Amino acid sequence: MAERLKVHVDPDKCQGHARCKALAPELFELDEYGNAREAGDGTVPVGLEDKAWLAKANCPEIAIDVIEE
Amino acid sequence: MSDVSQPAAHPPVTDWLNDFDHTDPQWTENPFPIWDELRAASPVVHTERFLGCYLPTTYEAVREIANDPEHFSSRRIIVRDARPEVTQNAAPPITSDPPVHKPAKQLLLPPFTPDAMKKLEPRVRTICNELIDGFVAEKKVDAAARYTKHIPVRAIAHMLGIPEGDSDLFINWIHMILELGIKDENLLLQAVHEMSDYFRDHIEQRRKHPTDDLISYLMNARNKDGQPLEDAHVLGSLRLLLIAGIDTTWSAIGSSLWHLARTPADRERLIAEPELMPTAVEEFLRAYSPVTMAREVIKERTVSGCPVKPGNMVLLSFPAANRDPKMFPDADKVVIDRRENRHAAFGLGIHRCIGSNLARMEMQVALEEWLKRIPDFRLDPAGTVTWSQGTVRGPRQLPFLLGKAM
């Protein structure tokens, strides 16, 4: 059984590069300034785990955590 | 008042490690081996040129500086021969430090979100196709003069609500500010004044006839106290949008096409797998990042173990950071399906480029439309590719032969 993943964007680090939203639109949202936050409570639906890791690996500000629960 | 300097001829560089110069023809033509040499020697190198200037050579050193506005001010963002007095509202928010920076930036962010750019995309696609219509039947073309140069300038003119037909005027000002102005104060000031007069006229027109473009948006914006922005602030931000919006993306599109002209395998793959385009665009941004910003050291600091002292500038080379092999495996190779690409082409930290979503959209559309209509092209061996100097790097002459090689 794979672990369940959660994504979290650190709002103090995010500068609005919006890479996460482009790579994993299901997992992230942008506010009116284009800054990112996790969609809902950040729970990654089964099958989208790769996208969570990809978003983390491409964030220029290292603002994204992927938490294994 | 500042001293008005004459354009200074810089002696050619013979010692890159201790005497580097980002305006040297060797750097302009091919900076990559220079960065490799410097990076191998130290994470931060220094030159006495430009009244004293550091260059961080690694991704980590660039990141440290970009994330430290307390020691590294953005009041000067171009490394030049002169350091005239700093003026307020030069080009906010890029020329401002905290706490002034954030509210100025927040004002400009909403019109540049990815969703806002989606609405602009059809206009950019039309611009690209109009340009291609103009030369597609020819056998050879200077892709810089007839394609890459016009896309961003017309897109930002469209957003600002100023005539796309004034493009040559804008391009000339930017050449004076970002290239000639490094060594000639007079040309820089002349361009800034002309640009300011131009925008003052547009501001006046909109007082009489409000519009729904970016100029009116800025005039209608309110600061946190509910007050309209000062005219000087509106003017500074308009100058920034025009300066930052044009030759940056022109360069990025040009470098990408230059790569594709020389790399048929990547061209064929992008045509066969168009879904790869966004990833490829990120890789072109990494490998050929056009923009090098600057900071001024205002407090003593140690960066990656190297002491840096106030009174010096920093050439904050995002392009050099993006070629750091510690950060990117095969950093010197262009890998159009590179999955992990934390590149710094749009800067890092609080000054992340406001126009990054615009630039990405323009690059993607410009390459897609070109490849759709001109799948086969190559460098014209009878021509010469030339590169811009200094702050923004990209091809300014891009001679191509169109169609399959015989």
Q: Give the model confidence (pLDDT) of B94-117 as tens digits.
A: 889 999 999 989 999 999 999 999
CA distance A15 to B35: 27
What are the chain A neighbours of B356 within 8 Å (beta carbons)? 17-18
Do the Cβ atoms of B362 and B249 come closer than 8 Å? Answer: yes
The residue to which tokens 């790769």 are assigned:
A50
pLDDT at position B6 is: 45
Q: How many residues does chain A have?
A: 69
How far is the CA of B228 from the CAs of B43, B96, B107, B225, B292, in angstroms? 44, 19, 11, 9, 32
Q: Round the average pLDDT of chain B to a whole number and report it.
A: 94
- The amino acid sitting at B182 is I
Q: What is the pLDDT of residue B84?
A: 85
**Contacting residues of B for A61, CB less than 8 Å apart:** 348-349, 352
Helices B231-245, B167-178: inter-axial angle, 10-degree rounding = 90
Q: How large a percentage of chain B has pLDDT more than 90?
A: 83
**DSSP states along A28-66:** EEE-TTS-EEESTT-BPPTT-HHHHHHHHHH-TT--EEE
Mean pLDDT of A12-27: 98
pLDDT tier, B5 (very low <50, low <70, confident <90, very high otherwise): very low
B262 near B378, Cβ under 8 Å?
Answer: yes
Q: Sheet containing B44-47: give its strands across.
A: B44-47, B53-56, B313-316, B293-297, B72-73
pLDDT confidence bin for B190, thresholds 50/70/90? very high
Residue B242 has pLDDT above 90, yes or no: no
Torsion of CA B214, B215, B216, B221, to 10 degrees: 80
| Neighboring chain B residues of A21 at a CB cutoff of 8 Å | 114
Nearest chain A Cα distance for residue B92, angstroms: 17
In this predicted structure, what is the pLDDT of residue B244? 87
To the nearest whole Å, the CA of A10 is away from the closest chain B CA by 13
Residue B76 one-letter amino acid: R
Confidence class of residue B243 from pLDDT cuts 50, 70 and 90?
A: confident
Question: Does residue A66 register a pLDDT over 70?
Answer: yes
User: Which residue is listed with tokens 């206009």?
Assistant: B123
Q: Between chains, do B342 and A21 touch, taking CB under 8 Å as contact?
A: no
The predicted model scores a pTM of: 0.95
The tokens describing B329, both together, are 């495996």
What residues of A are in contact with residue B346 (Cβ under 8 Å)? 17, 60
Q: Which residue has the higher pLDDT, B91 or B236?
A: B236
**Which residues have CB under 8 Å from B243's CB, separation 6+?**
B91, B173, B174, B177, B178
Q: What is the pLDDT of residue B3?
A: 41
Asked if A15 and B357 come within 8 Å (Cβ–Cβ), the reply is: no
Please determine, for the modelled complex, whether the ipTM score is greater than 0.85. yes
